[in-house]
């Protein structure tokens, strides 16, 4: 494209796009503030989070297992998300949502990246101003989009994209494939006034590995698990090294999203040799201590359950069956058919034991 010709058809098109973006950027709206009005059921608000832009905060006490929000994606971009497709989706949104989009944050490095990849610098100030606007637009998208779990298309939620990171978050989000909704579930009790957080990194990595992933968002996490001067953070670090070693022994690294992330340096943990079955049980115990819930961890609990069943340790086996069920209850709620299946299994297990005169209870 001839960037020195502001009248070329391509340049005119870009100028028109920049004008649409400009118009939307004039208004400062956040969906949270809008949504708060007239909604008595809402348990959160969006407001300033010191040093982190906006954040999502509890307005009431929220119990573990509560659905904080179920939000439909406002933008869906299929396949490669180039700037043209993203702008197409942007234009499909109502003006209010376009304005909210433009009030989101884009990161300087992303913006610089777009400019250096897609645009040859020109001596024309007016052309550069248009390019900078487009780069800003794309940087907002890049910083706030999420991959959709089932197809890897990219989605953006105008409200929940405000949720900030914590390495030990009090909420988890997932894309509920059946409803197409992005759901946020409290995985700890959250007090009114507390910030609601989710993790941006793979949850079971060591501090150093998490910091590498978080660098993409251009911040250094200073949460309690990252403050290595404390006993607490050191315990988390040691545990994560053990988790890695145990996961290797029972082939769970892929499931736990730590495959290819062997912990480096410092705080080495020597584990005695053990069988895969023992490792799976020990690993499950450590996952429970992490107190961070992830749907994939069910597979590890299932493995522990199966090994214990084979060894006829019924009470212990029941414990891990129960933990699987707990995750289902947390994610789907008690009335969902997906939870019902795991409830059925639990009940048939109980029936089997009562019939056989076994003593059932969670031991240990
Ligand atoms: Zn952290």
Whole-number Å distance, alpha carbon 102 to ligand 1 midpoint, is 28
For 132-144, the DSSP string reads: HHHHHHHHHHHHH
CA distance 325 to 328: 5
For 143-210, the DSSP string reads: HH-EE-TTT--EEE-TTGGGPEE-SS-SEEEEEETTTTEEEEEESS-B-TTPEEEE-SS-TTS-HHHH
| pLDDT score, position 212 | 94
CA atoms within 13 A on the CB side of 140: 22
| pLDDT mean over 54-60 | 93
| pLDDT score, position 3 | 55
Whole-number Å distance, alpha carbon 200 to ligand 1 midpoint, is 10
Q: Taking the domains of the chain in order of start, what are their residue ranges?
A: 9-40+69-170
Whole-number Å distance, alpha carbon 211 to ligand 1 midpoint, is 8
| pLDDT score, position 168 | 94
The percentage of residues in the chain with a pLDDT greater than 70, rounded to a whole number, is 88
Whole-number Å distance, alpha carbon 223 to ligand 1 midpoint, is 4
Minimum mean pLDDT range among 94-103, 289-298, 333-342: 333-342
On the question of pLDDT at 54 being above 50, the answer is yes
Minimum mean pLDDT range among 77-91, 113-127, 305-319: 113-127
pTM above 0.75, yes or no: yes
On the question of pLDDT at 87 being above 60, the answer is yes
Whole-number Å distance, alpha carbon 208 to ligand 1 midpoint, is 10
Whole-number Å distance, alpha carbon 48 to ligand 1 midpoint, is 19
Whole-number Å distance, alpha carbon 150 to ligand 1 midpoint, is 27
Q: What is the pLDDT of residues 178-205, one digit of tens each?
A: 888 888 999 999 999 999 999 999 999 9
Whole-number Å distance, alpha carbon 185 to ligand 1 midpoint, is 20
Q: Which candidate, 143, 192, 138, places its Cα nearest to that of 163?
A: 143
| pLDDT score, position 40 | 53
Instruction: Count CB neighbours of 129 within 10 A.
Output: 11
In sequence order, the 6+-apart residues with CB closer than 8 A to the CB of 359 are 315, 353
On the question of pLDDT at 89 being above 60, the answer is yes
Whole-number Å distance, alpha carbon 218 to ligand 1 midpoint, is 13
Given a contact cutoff of 8 angstroms between Cβ atoms, the answer to whether 137 and 162 are in contact is no
Whole-number Å distance, alpha carbon 349 to ligand 1 midpoint, is 40
Whole-number Å distance, alpha carbon 334 to ligand 1 midpoint, is 32
Minimum mean pLDDT range among 13-22, 197-206, 260-269, 306-315: 260-269
Whole-number Å distance, alpha carbon 339 to ligand 1 midpoint, is 31
Which sign does the torsion angle of CA 147, 33, 111, 166 carry? negative
The pLDDT mean for the chain works out to: 85
List strands edge to edge, sheet with 75-77.
75-77, 154-156, 146-147
Residue identified by tokens 């969006």 is 46
Q: What is the pLDDT of residues 213-227, one digit of tens each?
A: 999 888 899 899 999
For residue 39, name the pLDDT band (cuts at 50, 70, 90).
Answer: very low
Whole-number Å distance, alpha carbon 232 to ligand 1 midpoint, is 12
Whole-number Å distance, alpha carbon 350 to ligand 1 midpoint, is 40
On the question of pLDDT at 361 being above 70, the answer is no
Whole-number Å distance, alpha carbon 231 to ligand 1 midpoint, is 15
Residue identified by tokens 């973006």 is 21
On the question of pLDDT at 7 being above 90, the answer is no
| pLDDT score, position 364 | 39
| pLDDT score, position 343 | 84
């Amino acid at each position: 494209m001839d960037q020195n010709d502001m009248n070329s058809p391509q340049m005119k098109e870009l100028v028109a796009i920049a004008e649409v973006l400009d118009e939307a950027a004039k208004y400062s709206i956040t969906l949270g503030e809008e949504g708060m009005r007239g909604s008595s059921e809402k348990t959160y608000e969006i407001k300033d989070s010191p040093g982190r832009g906006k954040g999502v905060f509890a307005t009431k006490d929220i119990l573990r297992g509560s659905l904080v929000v179920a939000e439909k994606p406002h933008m869906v971009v299929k396949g490669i998300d180039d700037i043209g497709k993203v702008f197409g989706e942007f234009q499909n949104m109502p003006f209010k949502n376009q304005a909210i989009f433009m009030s989101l944050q884009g990161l300087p490095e992303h913006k610089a990246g777009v400019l250096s990849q897609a645009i040859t610098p020109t001596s024309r100030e007016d052309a550069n101003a248009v390019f900078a606007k487009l780069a800003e637009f794309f940087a907002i998208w890049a910083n706030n989009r999420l991959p959709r779990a089932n197809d890897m298309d990219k989605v953006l939620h105008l409200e929940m994209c405000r949720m900030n990171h914590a390495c030990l978050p009090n909420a988890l989000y997932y894309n509920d494939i059946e409803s197409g909704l992005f759901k946020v579930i409290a995985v700890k009790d959250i007090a009114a006034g507390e910030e609601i957080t989710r993790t941006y990194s793979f949850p079971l990595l060591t501090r150093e590995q998490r910091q590498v992933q978080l660098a993409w968002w251009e911040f250094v996490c200073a949460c309690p698990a990252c403050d290595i001067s404390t006993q607490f953070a050191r315990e988390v670090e040691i545990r994560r090294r053990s988790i890695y070693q145990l996961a290797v022994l029972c082939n769970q690294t892929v499931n736990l999203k730590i495959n290819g992330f062997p912990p480096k340096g410092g705080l080495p943990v020597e584990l005695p040799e053990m069988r895969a079955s023992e490792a799976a049980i020990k690993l499950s115990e450590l996952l429970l201590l992490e107190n961070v819930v992830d749907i994939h961890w069910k597979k590890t609990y299932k493995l522990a359950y199966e090994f214990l069943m084979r060894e006829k340790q019924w009470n212990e086996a029941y414990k891990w069956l129960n933990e699987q069920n707990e995750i289902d209850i947390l994610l789907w709620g008690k009335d969902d058919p997906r939870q019902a299946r795991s409830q059925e299994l639990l009940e048939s297990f109980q029936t089997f034991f009562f019939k056989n005169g076994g003593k059932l209870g969670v031991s240990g």
